[in-house]
Amino acid sequence: MAILALGAALLGACSGSGAGRAPTIMPTRTLIPPTATLTPPPANFTPTPTDLPSPATLAAATADAASLSPVEAMIEATTRDLVASGVAPADIRLLSVDGFAWQDATWGCAAREGAADGTSSGSTAGYRIAYSAGSRVYVYHTNLEGAFFLCDDPAWLARDGTPILVDPIASAMVALCRADAARRLGIAQDALQLTSLVTVTWPDDSIGCPQPGIAYSQQETPGYRIVLRAGEEALIYHTSARHVVLCAPDQAILPGPIRQALATPVPLESE
């Protein structure tokens, strides 16, 4: 994904918190379950591993602020805030971007209750942007105009937003998963809702769903964790740029930062 730089006027409007308060990540699981690798259906665009976003793509570039979309602008602003707080640019990984309509001045973060900082007391459109850096996750809540803050409240995990596709590889892999899910459930593809999309660097080429008795290359493999839902039925996929695996939650091996950064896939009304 292309990460473009903000103009000085936008950055001057931003307000960030120190990133040092982010939680320490717990160790990952060690369960090794059986699973099956799907053969992706034909697609007009065939992504390759080198096309996937990497931490290096988050390095600042030079561009006119007027050329940025709101989501690109907020990704760039929050990335710069992380770097300014001491996080190395090469360590930053964009995990997820969700759209929200914040209903009060806290912008979905209880720790912000009573804070002014120029936030509106009414409904505010914005984003929840999650990054990992090393063993930590950093979560920003933003509006669309350049204001943001680092949310240290773990309650954000229980909130569902609208996952935003910010690169063409993610779009291609969601399309492959959607086609497979529709075939499995016997429904139209437009009946499936994308409820979670998180970028992942899998520690090996099992992409988080290894099969017993198979030796996997211990090579980091970039990809995604994608959740599609139709009513009460949810299908969770792990992907690289070339393979798609249907993987139940109790079968998955997830890197620590990803486990912390996943939005809850169950709709609030069914909880």
Mind listing the pLDDT tens digit for each residue in 171-197?
A: 999 999 999 999 999 999 999 999 999
Q: Which is nearest to 243 in space by CA: 195, 268, 267, 211?
A: 211
- Beta strands 124-133 and 136-143 are antiparallel
Which one of 163, 193, 219 terminates a domain? 163
One domain, residues 104 and 18: yes
Q: Are residues 22 and 121 in the same domain?
A: yes
For 27-50, write each residue's pLDDT tens digit. 322 222 233 344 444 444 444 444
Structural domain count of the chain = 2
155 and 182 belong to one structural domain:
no
Residues 107, 21 within the same domain: yes
pTM: 0.71
Predicted pLDDT at 113: 59
Q: Determine the pLDDT at residue 248.
A: 83
Domain membership flag for residue 39? no
The range of the structural domain enclosing residue 136 comes to 8-26+60-163
Task: Supply the pLDDT for residue 202.
Answer: 92
Domain shared by 18 and 119, yes or no: yes
Strands (E), the chain: 37-38, 92-102, 124-133, 136-143, 148-150, 162-163, 193-202, 221-230, 233-239, 244-246
Q: DSSP character for 270? A: G
Q: Which of the residues in the chain have pLDDT under 50?
A: 1-51, 53-63, 65, 116, 118-119, 264-271
Give 262's contacts (C-beta < 8 A, 6+ positions apart): 157, 196, 198, 225, 254
Q: Which amino acid is at 108?
A: G
